[in-house]
Amino acid sequence: MSRGLNKVMIIGHLGRDPEMRYTPSGRPVTTFSVATSRSWHSADGERHEETEWFNVVAWGSLAEICNQYLHKGQQVYIEGRLQTRRWEDTEGNKHFTTELVAKEMIMLGERREISSTYVSKPGEEEELPF
């Protein structure tokens, strides 16, 4: 069986402050959104801009670090993988969401006295926070 690849790297700005909570087993999970923008000129010379929003999920020690050091508007580099979750609400409606599960985070745009690169430890992801 051949192996696949699911790797995502984005640089953007946080759209909201991170929110941290704990799973029933006590593992920290932090969520936040990141906006990436691109611009281009059409054939007629008109400038266009497009923004894409990513929902980011960090687990374990990376979740704690993101919650402590990140804030709305801050520029970050996030590396991880895409994951789609599916669920059904109490009325039977099916829902889907695609998230970037972070494995690495680098704070950009500001000088910090602390190290600005954080990598999750093996096994610190994969537990659903719901």
pLDDT tens column, 30-70:
999 999 999 989 999 999 999 999 999 999 999 999 999 99
Q: Is residue 34 part of a domain?
A: yes
Quickly tell me which residue has 């999750």 as its tokens: 120
Answer whether residue 28 is part of any domain.
yes
pLDDT digits (tens, 9 = 90+) for 73-92: 999 999 999 999 999 999 99
Q: Is residue 127 part of a domain?
A: no
* 12 domain-assigned: yes
Q: Is 2 inside a domain boundary? A: no
* Count of C-beta atoms within a 10 Å radius of residue 47: 8
Residue 114 lies in a domain: yes
Give the chain's domain count.
1
Identify the CATH number of the domain in which residue 64 sits.
Answer: 2.40.50.140
The pTM assigned to this predicted structure is: 0.80
Would you say residue 95 lies in a domain? Answer: yes
Q: In which domain, by residue range, is 23 found?
A: 8-39+47-119
